[in-house]
């Protein structure tokens, strides 16, 4: 009887553990992740009703992303010391606290308090960003892109559940959107129980002779890391720029909140449905071609949006926007995980998400300013939002081409 190679058994054990963690993270993405389309659909509309100036309608969305940006490095350090489970529980607590504060702010009609709640919600958004890294932690090199992709695919359920919950809860109480924020509290409290099933033990204390890896400054001089971060930042920021203003643009063009929820549903489905095969495409063709394809699709989304403001054009633009984000962001994440050593991940992953969500913060804030305060009306503002994508697509595409043309031994 043939004896299996011990190395094969080790790889199999690693991937069995990784598959278990992927299943837990997919469920968490589906349940807890439903709050993100919910707050992105109603956040701008609620902000517009509370804000003294319509130019600041999307400021609550910006505060969510700012909270995520500010939390990224501490969250990475927390997970490096206490493990992924601790960080994810802190994230769920932040989401519940943010929703509770937002609900109270709506009841009190306080814009400032609503911004505070949005900032706290960013703690959850930051933790959610580490789901993809947690999926890669225990995976073999061959399984890693698939693990990342499958966890991102968990957002498919959240794409359906979140906007449908908005339809059920947005006008369910006397105060508009109050029911939506109460539902978000329930999602966080219930969904946090999933993390007790995660097989991700607390990292052992490093031995004195264990490798320390490169410093942050040295890693930021690595072209592969820098280009991966640029592509991730551009993919996520441009997706957020357009998505944040879409509900406002649609309502401004005469459509209903329910229509905006349906378009956001289609968008979030487009963000996550490709994840079922993105990992396979990356394994076959490499991460860089998939990122490049994502950037081209994002450009196509802008072109469709500029062609008109009929509901079909909103659907087309937002579906392409979701697919482009999926290819660009998952591809860039895979590039990043391949460019650093395991002992460096606590440092570089925090920096990466700090940069990504810093760009997203500026994009979400710019979204409302471009839409409401840059032209003669809502249509001109919507066009300005989509034209603003172009220079950043050129930046990311140029960086990717430059990296591909570098000699392999550089």
Q: Which two tokens stand for residue 181?
A: 């924020």
Q: Where are the alpha helices (DSSP H) in 51-175?
A: 59-82, 84-108, 111-129, 131-137, 144-153, 155-169
Cα angle for residues 138, 222, 129 (degrees, 5° grid) = 45
Asked if residue 70 belongs to a domain, the reply is: yes
Q: How many other C-beta atoms are found inside a 10 Å radius of the C-beta of residue 292?
A: 19
Q: Are 290 and 327 in contact (CB under 8 A)?
A: yes
- Distance in angstroms (rounded) separating the CA atoms of residues 2 and 410: 44
Q: How many other C-beta atoms are found inside a 10 Å radius of the C-beta of residue 377?
A: 10
Domain that holds residue 332: 15-198+217-405
Burial of 224 (0-12, 13-18, 19+ CB in 10 A): middle
pLDDT for res 11: 45
CATH of the domain at 104: 1.20.1250.20
Residues 6+ apart with CB under 8 A from 282: 145, 149, 290, 330, 331, 334
Q: Which two tokens stand for residue 296?
A: 């081209």
Q: Are 393 and 298 in contact (CB under 8 A)?
A: yes
Asked if residue 332 belongs to a domain, the reply is: yes
Asked if residue 207 belongs to a domain, the reply is: no
- Distance in angstroms (rounded) separating the CA atoms of residues 35 and 185: 9
Asked if residue 1 belongs to a domain, the reply is: no
Helix (H) or strand (E) holding 289: helix 287-306
Nearest alpha-carbon partner for 393 in 291, 266, 311: 291
Q: Are 100 and 373 in contact (CB under 8 A)?
A: no
Asked if residue 3 belongs to a domain, the reply is: no
Helix (H) or strand (E) holding 382: helix 378-387
Asked if residue 360 belongs to a domain, the reply is: yes
- Distance in angstroms (rounded) separating the CA atoms of residues 30 and 380: 36
**pTM for the whole structure:** 0.73
Q: How many domains does the chain have?
A: 1
- The per-residue pLDDT string of the chain (410 residues; one tens digit each, 9 = 90 and over) reads 444 444 344 444 557 888 888 889 999 988 999 998 888 878 878 888 888 887 787 788 889 988 988 888 888 888 888 888 999 999 999 999 999 999 999 999 999 999 999 999 999 998 988 887 788 777 777 787 778 778 877 777 887 888 889 888 988 888 889 999 999 999 999 999 999 998 876 666 555 556 667 777 888 888 888 999 999 999 999 998 998 889 889 988 988 878 888 898 889 889 888 878 888 898 889 999 999 999 999 999 999 999 999 999 999 999 999 999 999 998 998 898 888 777 677 678 778 877 887 888 888 778 888 888 876 788 999 999 999 999 999 999 999 999 988 776 55
Burial of 242 (0-12, 13-18, 19+ CB in 10 A): buried
- Distance in angstroms (rounded) separating the CA atoms of residues 377 and 341: 50
Asked if residue 330 belongs to a domain, the reply is: yes
CA 331 from chain center: how many Å?
A: 13
The DSSP secondary-structure symbol of 54 reads G
CA 28 from chain center: how many Å?
A: 14
- Distance in angstroms (rounded) separating the CA atoms of residues 146 and 225: 20
Q: How many other C-beta atoms are found inside a 10 Å radius of the C-beta of residue 171?
A: 16
Burial 304-342 (b: 16+ CB within 10 A, else e): bbbeebeeeebbbbbbbbbbbbbbbbbbbbbbbbebbee
Q: Which phi and psi angles does 181 have, rounded to 5°? A: -70, -30
């Amino acid at each position: 009887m043939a004896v299996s190679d011990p190395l094969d058994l080790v790889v199999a054990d690693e991937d069995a553990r990784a598959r278990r963690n992927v299943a837990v993270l997919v469920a968490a993405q589906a349940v807890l992740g439903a709050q993100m389309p919910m707050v992105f659909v109603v956040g701008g509309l609620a902000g517009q009703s509370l804000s003294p100036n319509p130019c600041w309608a999307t400021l609550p969305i910006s505060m969510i992303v700012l909270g995520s940006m500010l939390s990224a490095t501490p969250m990475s350090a927390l997970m490096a010391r206490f493990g992924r489970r601790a960080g994810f529980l802190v994230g769920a607590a932040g989401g519940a606290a943010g929703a509770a504060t937002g609900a109270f702010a709506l009841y009190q009609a306080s814009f400032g308090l609503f911004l505070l709640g949005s900032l706290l919600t960013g703690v959850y958004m930051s933790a959610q960003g580490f789901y993809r890294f947690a999926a890669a932690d225990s995976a073999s090199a061959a399984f890693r892109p698939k693990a990342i992709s499958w966890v991102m695919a968990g957002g498919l359920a959240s794409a359906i559940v979140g906007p449908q919950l908005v339809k059920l809860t947005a006008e369910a109480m006397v105060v508009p959107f109050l029911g939506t924020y109460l539902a978000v509290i329930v999602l966080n409290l219930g969904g946090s129980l999933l993390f007790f099933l995660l097989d991700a033990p607390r990292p052992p204390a490093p031995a004195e002779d264990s490798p320390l890896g490169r410093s942050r400054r040295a890693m930021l001089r690595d072209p592969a890391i820098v280009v991966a971060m640029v592509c991730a930042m551009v993919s996520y920021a441009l997706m957020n720029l357009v998505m944040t203003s879409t509900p406002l643009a649609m309502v401004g063009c005469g459509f209903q909140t329910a229509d905006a929820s349906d378009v956001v549903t289609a968008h979030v489905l487009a963000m996550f449905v490709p994840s079922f095969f993105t990992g396979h495409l990356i394994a076959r063709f490499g991460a860089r071609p998939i990122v490049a394809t994502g950037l081209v699709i994002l450009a196509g989304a802008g072109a469709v949006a500029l062609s008109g403001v009929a509901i079909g054009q909103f659907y087309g633009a937002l579906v392409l926007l979701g697919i482009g984000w999926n290819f660009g962001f998952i591809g860039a994440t895979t590039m990043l995980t391949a460019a650093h050593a395991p002992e460096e991940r606590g440092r570089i992953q925090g920096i990466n998400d700090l940069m990504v969500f810093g760009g997203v913060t500026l994009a979400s804030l710019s979204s409302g300013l471009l839409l409401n305060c840059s032209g003669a009306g809502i249509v001109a503002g919507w066009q300005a939002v989509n034209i603003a994508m172009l220079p950043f697509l050129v930046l990311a595409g140029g960086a990717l081409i430059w990296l591909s043309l570098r000699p392999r031994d550089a």
